[in-house]
Structure 1
Amino acid sequence: MNIVDLTPEATVPRDGWDRPLVIPKEGGKPKALTRTTTFIDCIEDKSAISDWKSRMTLVGAAKRPSMLEVVRQLDPEDADDKRKLNALAEQAQDISGANLKREKGTHLHTLSEYVDRGEALPAGTASRDLRDMAAYMGSTVEFTVKAVEKFVVVPELGTGGTFDRALEYAGPGPDGDRVEGLFIGDLKTGSVQYGGLKMAAQLATYSRGEFYDYTRFPVDTADKKAFAAWKKRVVPADEAATAYRPMPEVSQKWGIIINLPSGSGECTLHWVDLEIGWAAARLAREIRAMRSVKGAMRPWVSGVTEENVA
């Protein structure tokens, strides 16, 4: 893998719902955008993940039965108790080991950046991680990494998100014909057996974004007073526009998924169709808009009155 620019950006300021806060290109106060992954989440069938979470909650509770004594004292219809039950369910899932995959995935993402920069892995890296990184290096050798972890906004959808990689590639494409250019890439450290449409929508959205440099409007989010003042600041349009720059000409036809299941020592590459993905992203916009439509259900108006009953 050849390396060009691997300076990841720090985290963009976010609100209490973890939504990125950006200054609109036309100026004004900071505006909360929907995270790209959250925006397209509505097109995914969540039944499998919901069932899995239920199972892991039971496993966690079985490992720590004392939690059930607390549960028995809570009312699932009470607002405060609901929050406590939610926290207990999350705790049970953590006890079951449900969050280990996410933690391992974050760890592999960090290690992959060492590989992309051509640097030695940290001392003491586990042998299983070494095998994973060797597999990653072998599968991505034909790519030139142009950018890593860059934040982009898509005004058309009102979304903001960070893509994993911008990859330069020349060689056989998904149909066997030669392709070349810049492609949005994403590293997945779990199974890609399901969720292909969501992945395609995610990468398609990134491919239609533009870079936003939040460092133009710095703020210490840990300083609550300063952060509150920053959120009320009105930025002129000419100043706001300086934070935006167009994305290099990336493919809006194909994206690349790099699948490296944690601990497997195997890494595979997959093409994702971004035209299908973009259609899904626009469908997600319609679904989200429809959710705010009122009047789908109305009170029943009876034709029965005291007069016609008599």
Structure 2
Amino acid sequence: MTLVGAAKRPALLDVVRQLDPEDASDKRRLNALADQAMDISGANAKREKGTHLHTLSEYADRGDPLPFSTTVNDQLDMAAYMGATVVFDVKAVEKFVVVPELGTGGTFDRLLEYSGPGPDGEPVEGHFIGDLKTGSIEYGALKMATQLAVYAHGELYDFSRFPVDTTNKKAFAAWKKRLVPADEAAAAYNPLPQVSRKWGVIISLPAGSAECTLHWVDLEIGWAAARLAREIRAMRRVKGAMRPWVTGVTKPGDA
């Protein structure tokens, strides 16, 4: 998509030819030009549209009216979203969790309370991690199951206990290096409510489709994949898998 953007705006290539990728300053400019080319190609349009629908869905879940400027297509998408998710009671929106076991973290979209038929038709009830997807979900089942499984095994982390101005680069860099007493750091963690580690919910709302569907995802499969990924990352740090060929070594039996 970067090449498509450059083809649409050939002047970008004229600037690129004048920059040295080995120079730190020029490298930053090259990265900025690559981002610009991506924008020109339209590659970020879907992402921005998805972010917009996520924001509108928060209005819907709070019971607030949609902004006056909301387009007809977006209203139709939100009507489909509200119709599909009426079976849920939304308990939390956009919460950050950390998973010390994996050394990772992330923000889940929804904590949903549900009582009704489960994946096999048998009754289930409780709290479930939910995630809103505004693009295609055709090929991402394992990835989504892994993502939601990580969330379900996480602990809530309260950033407000350690406020920082992330727009101030120096202050943010100093904040990241700050030593925090163990008891103060521990107070920022809180357990999730009793949440299912067996099943999660994908809310599929392809942008502009006016259609919303719900899908169960198996978090036990996802958690196994997450732990496997951790092992693979660890193996990538292992040294000594390859060694140089040594010449002149006497074979056994040679004299």
TM-score, normalised to structure 1, is 0.75
Partner AA of 1:241 in structure 2: A
Q: 1:64 aligns with which of 9, 14, 17?
A: 9
More displaced 10-residue stretch of structure 1: 185-194 or 232-241: 232-241
Helix, strand or coil: the match of 1:245?
Answer: strand
Code of the residue aligned with 1:120 in structure 2: it is P
Structure 1 125/214 Cα, relative in aligned 2: closer, same or farther at 3 Å? same
Letter in 1 for 2:78: M
1:215-263 per-position Cα deviation (integer Å, ceiling 9, x unaligned): 1222333445544443343322222222111111100000000011111
Taking a change above 3 Å as real, the CA distance of residues 284 and 266 of structure 1, as seen in their structure-2 partners, is same
What do residues 170-212 of structure 1 show as CA deviations (whole Å, max 9, x unaligned)?
A: 1111111111111000000000001111110010010011111
Alpha-carbon distance, 1:295 to partner: 1.9
SS at match of 2:200: strand
Unaligned runs of 5+ in 1: 1-55, 306-310
Is 1:256 aligned with 2:201?
A: yes
Q: Mapping of 1:158-307 within 5 angstroms?
A: 158-224=103-169, 226-303=171-248
| Identity level (%) | 79
Q: Distance in 2 between matches of 1:90 and 1:225?
A: 24
Which structure 2 residue ranges, 5 or more long, are not aligned? Answer: 251-255
1:166 is aligned with what amino acid? L
Change in Cα spacing, 1:79 to 1:195, as seen in structure 2 (3 Å) is: farther
Equivalent-residue separation in structure 2 for 1:59 and 1:226 (angstroms): 38
Q: Secondary structure of 2:126's partner?
A: strand
Summarize deviations over 1:28-50 as a string: whole Å, max 9, x none: xxxxxxxxxxxxxxxxxxxxxxx
How far apart are residue 111 of structure 1 and its match?
A: 0.3
- Where 1:303 maps in the other structure, the secondary structure is coil
Q: Match for 1:134 among 79, 87, 97?
A: 79
Cα 1:74–1:225 change in 2 (3 A) is: closer
Q: How many residues align structurally?
A: 249
**RMSD of equivalent CA atoms:** 2.1
Please give the alpha-carbon distance, in whole angstroms, between the structure 2 residues aligned to 1:133 and 1:115: 7
How do residues 12-23 of structure 1 correspond to structure 2 at under 5 angstroms? none
Q: Does 1:150 align with 2:95?
A: yes
Residue 14 of structure 2 aligns to which amino acid in structure 1? E
**Per-residue displacement from partner, 1:153-175 (whole Å, max 9, x unpaired)?**
11111111111000011111111
Within 2, Cα distance between the matches of 1:130 and 1:258? 17
The range that moved more, 233-242 or 261-270, is 233-242
Change (3 A) 1:254 1:303: same
Q: Distance in 2 between matches of 1:62 and 1:227?
A: 38
Instruction: Tell me how far 1:300 sits from its aligned partner.
Output: 2.5
Aligned letter for 1:274? L
243 and 139 in structure 1: CA distance in 2 versus 1, 3 angstrom threshold: same
Spell out the pairing of 1:71-86 with structure 2 (5 A cutoff): 71-74=16-19, 78=22, 80=24, 84-86=29-31
Provide closer, same or farther for how the CA distance between residues 79 and 297 of structure 1 changes in structure 2, counting only shifts above 3 A. Answer: farther
Range with greater deviation from structure 2 (171-180 or 198-207): 171-180
1:64 deviation in Å? 1.1
Name the CA distance, whole Å, in 2 between partners of 1:121 and 1:91: 31
TM-score (norm 2): 0.90
Q: Secondary structure at the match of 1:140?
A: helix
Distance in 1 (alpha carbons) for counterparts of 2:79 and 2:34: 37
